[in-house]
């Protein structure tokens, strides 16, 4: 039945949108900092605590959004097998 795979994909779309929008916001913020940002030892450094705080606010929801996306993906894959 066609509706089963389509129904399974419904939760995946908003989860993917939310996650990717947040990733784009993080990328845009880093790009806006220009040469003020540096990448050291698999990390990122900002010259001011305000910049670091803003970055931390932007990345804070990513783990939960990633988990929600993974769960929606797993559900969709399982339903379409």
pLDDT (tens digit per residue) in 18-44: 999 999 999 999 999 999 999 999 999
**Joined tokens for residue 33:** 């900092």
Work out the number of other CB atoms within 10 angstroms of the CB of residue 76. Answer: 19
Average pLDDT of the chain? 92
**44 φ, ψ to 5°?**
-125, 140
**Joined tokens for residue 34:** 């220009």
Q: pTM value?
A: 0.84
Distance CA 3, CA 6 (A): 5
């Amino acid at each position: 039945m066609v509706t089963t795979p389509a129904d399974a994909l419904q939760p995946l779309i908003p989860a993917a949108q939310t996650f990717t929008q947040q990733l784009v916001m993080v990328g845009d913020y880093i790009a806006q900092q220009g040469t003020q940002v540096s990448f050291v030892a698999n990390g990122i450094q900002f010259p001011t605590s305000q910049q670091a705080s803003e970055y931390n606010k932007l990345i804070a929801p990513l783990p939960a959004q990633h988990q929600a996306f993974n769960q929606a993906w797993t559900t969709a894959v399982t339903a379409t097998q």
